[in-house]
Each structure stands twice: as C-alpha cells, then as structure tokens.
Structure 1
C-alpha cells in the first residue's frame, strides 16, 4: 500500500515537472517571436528613413542641376542677341529688329548701297525655251466627196412554191427515210392543193410512209383512199398491190388474194400486175 502511494507521488512530481518545462518552453517561444517581430519593424523603419534621406538628396541635386541649366541658357541667349544685332547689343533697342531693305523702282536699297538691275551675261548656247511657240498649224480637213447612192435595184420577187415544188420536197423527205415529216408534208400538200393532178400520188406515198414503218393497218386505209377516190389512176394499180401485200403481212391471206386478183383483172398489163401474179403463186391463189 505504501509502495502504491510512493508510485503515485512520483508520477505527480513527474507531471508537475513536465508541465513546468512546457510552460517555460512556451514562454521562451513567445519571447523569441516577439523579438523577431520587433527586429523586422526596426529594419523596416530604418529602410524607410534611408529612402527618405536618399529622396531628399536627389531633390537637392536636381534643383542644383536645374539652376545651372537656367544660368547656362541665360548666358547663351545673351550671346545670341549680341551676335545677331550689334546695335541691340550696344543699347539701341528702340525698334527691335530693323531691316534696311526698301523697295524702289527698279532696285532694292540695302543701307546706303543701291543694287540696280544689271544686264545678265548671255550664253551662246541655243535657248529653245526662250521662244514662245506659236499656234499649231491648221491642217485642212479632208474634203468629203459625196457619192450618189445608186438606186436600189428591185429585189427579185421570190418564186412562189408551186404544187410541184411542194410535192418534190415531200418526196425528198421520203427518200431520206424521214417518214414522219414526209407524211406530214404529203398531207399538207393534199389540203393545200386539193385539185392538183399530184394528189393521187401524194395519197399513195403517204400510204408508203406507213408501209415503210410496218404500220400495215394504217397503210391499208391510206392505199384504199387512193383506189376509192381515183380508181382509174395509174397509182391505183400500185395501191392495190400494196393493199394485198399489207393484208399478207398482218396474217390475212384471203384478203391479200382478193386484192391481188382485182389488180390483175383491172390492170393486167401494168408492172404492179406482174408482181401480183408472183404473189398469187406464192399464196396459192
């Protein structure tokens, strides 16, 4: 029991000692910090004081330099006045700068000296610039020779395209295999010249345009118009031949034989009749 009390007493003493040391260290640290702050403040104050003294010294030096410069400028100004106008330097300053130059007739007066116009030495070289050019030479305008305008010759009267020319133009289109334009031209011809002797031919060749394009039903109708309107015309024989051949092309041999026989009977000595006989042999009719 006594031993335990002794231990507790020892621990208490140790704690008290440690606390005292800590307090002492804290006090030492605080004192050190305060000293450092005080030293910095003193150094800052010393620096500011040194800057102030330096600024004062610079200001004094600058004032001294400005005073010397002002004195130097005054000296230079005085020398300039003395050099430029001796009379002003001697005290004659009533009128300031005085010019002795006065304009007179034909001369200038400079003080007591008169400078009159003197002849200038002339050079022997040519001086083209001294000669004033005269007006430019007058160039006569060329005479305009008026030519009489020839009388306009009367324009040749274009020949009116007659039925034959229109028919030949349409037939040329057919020969160039331009079947659509040829058919249109043949139809226009029939309408424009309904009493022409070439109308049967135009109707026949209109049917040929369909036949050449393998439009056999339309070809049959066109060829029948030839045989119906002009049964005794020479183109009627050719139209009968093409009607029979067109029926053969569409697969109607009975009608083909019928029209070919009509051709042989009506136009036995014609060239189309000879061809029809060959076709009838082929068809067995």
Structure 2
C-alpha cells in the first residue's frame, strides 16, 4: 500500500511537471507569435510611411515640372509675339537705335529691271544700245593651249637597246625563326636577372604566338620570374597554368615541383605535400620527382 502511494505521488508530480512545461512552452509560443506580429506590423507601418514619402516627393517633382512647363510656354509665346525683336533692339548700340533719323538705309533692295550682270542695262529697261565698232577685237577671243610638239625619236644603230632589268626578289623572312627569336630574347633577360623585363617578353611571346610549341616553356619561365622575385603567390598561379593547360608536357613535372615549393614558402605545408606527391605519382622517373622525394622526407610527408 505504501509503495502504491509512492507511485501515485510520483505520477502526480510528473503530471504537474508536464503541465508546467506545457504552460511554459505555450507562453513562449504566444510571446514569440506576439513579437512576430508586432515586427510585421512595424514593418508594414514603415512601408506605408515610405510609400507616403515617395508619393509626396513625386507630387513635388510633378508640381515643379508643371511650373517649368508653364514658364517655357510663356517664353515661347513671348518669342512668337516678337519678343526676340524687342530684345535685340534694346541691346543694339545707341547710334543704331535711331538709324531711321540719322539717314541709315535699312532696306536695301535692288531696283527692279535696272541692272543685270556685267553692269549693262536690260533690254527692256528702255536704254539705248551701245554702238559696236567694226574693228577686230582680239581680246574677245580666248587663246587655247599651245600645240604639243612631240620630240623626235633618236635611234642609235651602233648601240643595242638596253635590256629590261628584272627586280631582285625580296628574300622572305624566316617565319619559323621569329618565335624562337622572341623566346630567346626573353630567356636572355631572365638569365641576366632582369625578371620583370623577362616576364614582359614572355607575355609578348604568348600573345604573338599562342599556338607555338614553346608556349609551355614560356608559361613555366614566367612562373620562374615570380619565384625568383619571391612572389610565391603569383608563381603558384603561373605554374598551375602550365599543369592545367599542358598536364602531359615535360614542364608540367617541373611546375608541380615549384608549386609544392612555393606553397611551403608561403607557410602551407599541406598543399606542398599534396602537389609533391602528385608529382611523384604522375612523373615517377623524372628529375623533378627525385627532388620532390627529398622535399617530402624533409616535410615528413
């Protein structure tokens, strides 16, 4: 009996606790719902206020536009009514304003049928014709161009006619040597320690000869210019262009080695180990792979 009472008491406690938890959960839900409703209401009120403000702004701009249109219409009406003439007359000099009183002639028009071209009176104006002389008037005749007299052809019988000289053929430029020359010029700058100039040379080579066989080499040595200047982040990008575009080329192995070494220089040993392992797996018999194994042993990878 005592045990049964304890069980009932425990059940009642659990029920009371459950009811309390449910009440708290319901209160929390109600509070959350009320907060969301208030937030939505506040957002809606802000939206309506923004709409009202924009409407007021639009009305003000429309009123200004109507005012400006009315002013322009008045100006156009004034121009049509002769406002321009009045203004120009007001701006004229004092000695021109009273031109009619000072003897200025403002309406210059030729008299009808008085004079024609050449200063001769028109026939219908009633003027008497000028008497013409019977003497010859050489000035009335316009002389023509002088006759062309061909030069006599002189034939030298004792000398043979000169033979036509054929123009010498222009030697064609060796197109195949142009890429090698440009590449060699950039390499010479790199060997001289002029890394920025060498990089510009490699970029010019890549732009002029984008499909040449030396493109992988140019991309690799462009990365070497950055590596020599200790710009390891840019060297990684340049070397990755070699491995991305030419994954089977011989320079891809050297590029993988330099990528791993560059990552180690910037403090990223995990990526360094990753690329060095990729080099050993893809090019196990290459010279860069031997160096990669040494680097892996040093890095513990």
TM-score class, shorter: 0.3 to 0.5
**Structure with the greater alpha carbon radius of gyration:** 1
Structure with the higher strand share, 1 or 2? 1
Tell me the TM-score normalised to structure 2 length: 0.43
